[in-house]
Chains A and B, each alone.
Chain A
Amino acid sequence: MSQEHDAVELDVTGLNCPMPVIQTSQAFADLGVGETLEVHATDPGSVSDIAGWADSTTEATLHEQTEEDAADGTVYVHRIERVA
């Protein structure tokens, strides 16, 4: 099974600081070990904020951050795995 299929999606588009990181941490708390959370955000600050949060959270590993073009601007996609 590819990683793409196990990811739990979290949509925080349209939310600004500090909401993306807060909702990410809340959704992450419900993940099982080995599961991945895919966060979709429109806040450009979420790139640095979610990276910083994942760096400080021993249970979380940030695998990738990508940008996708959407109708109303850029969507930042963050993939975070629960490793413990």
Chain B
Amino acid sequence: MSLDEQPAASTAPTDPESLQATVAELEQRLSTLEEAAEDPGEMVIISTKGSLDMAYPPLILASTAAAFGYDVTVFHTFWGLDILHEERSKQLQMSAVGNVSMPIPNVLAALPGMDRLTTWYMNRQMRTHDVATVEELIDVSLASGVDLQACQMTIELFGYDPDDFYEGVTTGVGAASAFQRMQSADIQLLI
């Protein structure tokens, strides 16, 4: 139905002044909605784990959200720092101990050298299935504007140097800056 065909019985105001006021109000509401629609969503992930298997979820979600146009921050703290650490990120390990989804009994998984074997197996599986490496996911995240942050307190706690991290990683940030971003974010995750 076109605008001219509005039913005569419509309750819309007909005098020019009220019409003008209605139009102004609607325009105001439209511009508010348009601004909200243009405003990209925001996601904050707190990444706390440094094992090979736990490095993937935050990086995959972060780079994917950036592809969706989201403004993404990943705040790495405690062992999550190792994901951003240039040397340590290439040697991330994982253990089958306590992991009931892996086919190795705990009593065997706890033997010396088993973590290295489990890690080797996982890395081989990832290569076979064309899964990107941690380093590739960091590169693609940084290139797509993800703010990868390394918690200053834990950098000092673990005796790391801010220069140990990949170029483009934000250092010198703490819980308050993470929390401030979480306040305004649409999605907040702890991994």
Contact = CB atoms under 8 A, between A and B. Distances in A.
B130 A15 contact: yes
Interface string A1-35: 00000000000001111110110111000000000
B63 A22 contact: yes
B67 A14 contact: no
A38 to B, nearest CB: 18
Contacts of A14: 130
Contacts of B144: 22, 25-26
Contact of A57 (B60, B63, B69): B69
A56 B130 CA distance: 26
A24 B67 contact: yes
Nearest to A13: B130
Interface in B43-87: 60, 63-64, 66-69
How big is chain B's contact interface, by range? 10 to 19
A50 B95 CA distance: 34
Interface in B93-151: 129-132, 140, 144
Contact of B67 (A15, A43, A53): A53
A53 B130 contact: no
B68 A17 contact: no
B130 A57 contact: no
13 contacts: A15-B132, A16-B130, A16-B131, A16-B132, A18-B64, A19-B132, A21-B67, A22-B67, A22-B140, A22-B144, A26-B144, A57-B68, A58-B37
Closest 4 CB pairs of A and B: A25-B67, A16-B130, A18-B64, A22-B67
Given A15-B130, A18-B63, A58-B37, 7 more contacts: A15-B132, A18-B60, A22-B63, A22-B64, A24-B67, A25-B67, A26-B67
